[in-house]
Amino acid sequence: MDYFQRIGLLSSIDAEEVKQSIQKLESFLHAQGRDVVYEQKTAELVGWKVEKPLEINEFLESIDLVVVIGGDGSILSACRKIASSNVPLLGINLGRLGFLTDITPDEIELRVAPVLAGEFKQTERTMLSTSITRNGREIGTGTALNDVVLHPGMSVRMMEFELYVDGEFVYSQRSDGLIVATPTGSTAYALSAGGPLICPEIDAMVCVPLNPHTLSSRPIVLHGDSEIEIRVNSKHELHPSVTCDGQDDLITEPGDKILIKKHQHIISLIHPKDNNFYKVSRSKLGWGSRLGVKKER
């Protein structure tokens, strides 16, 4: 049985390598008898005439699979765009790490063909939604697949804040901020800050302090349905930023409240059938292989 008849191409990177990969992918998909649909901004990047490119909303209504060409940053950006569409996503990796993208441009024919034939894995990834309230009024919102980060912005001074989970006080802290990450985001900024790796299928989120001013502060793994509230200390002069997936900044003021919880929508990622979390972690993080076993490609 064939899968995914109308395939949408999406990218946000204006680079020759991206154009070559898109051209290669389009030719392959046409050879497989698939319809190829371009998102409007992607069509403007490629440098050749594209028939009937579509704005993002109409684009998502017209396809049954979106292929994103780029690195993990491109995937994160795409996930925020498609969050409410229920369209699954497949990534072609042109980046360095590629925790979310499994296929390189050289492997398009070899690894996309089985996906079109129904030989694939599908994982459901939770997202986070955040909102900031000031004097009881909502002044900003954001969505993240990886993480929501509270940080001091341009300042090098420590900030002070209080953390609440499901209405219960957890701690007050002086630090450089706090990372709230999904299992998907546990391999990103949270990992660099000393957080644990969390299998993507686990319904959880993790709070990881950034350079806390006490050795007793440690990452906390929470249930995925937890509601996190961060209260920015009203007595200091800093205006910390809240960043979603490192791409959107929301500026806070002393006394603001930041609410973070599971997003109402999930992202469906399509992977080749041989994909698994531990194999990817070994490859990307340089973990050792078993003695006597040839190194995996």
For 194-242, the pLDDT digits (tens) are 999 999 989 999 999 999 988 888 999 999 999 999 999 877 677 889 9
pLDDT at 297 over 60: no
Of 164 and 104, the structure prediction assigns the larger pLDDT to 164
251, 280 Cβ separation under 8 angstroms: no
Amino acid of residue 252: T
72 is catalytic: yes
CATH class of the region 6-118: alpha beta
Locate the domains of the chain by residue range: 6-118, 127-264
What pLDDT sits at residue 218? 93
Tell me: the pLDDT tens digits for 152-197? 876 677 889 999 999 999 999 999 999 999 999 999 999 999 999 9
Of 182, 201, 207, 205, the C-alpha closest to 278 is: 201
What DSSP designation does 111 have?
Answer: I
Q: Which of 2, 64, 72, 102 does the annotation list as catalytic?
A: 72
Domain 127-264 has CATH 2.60.200.30: yes
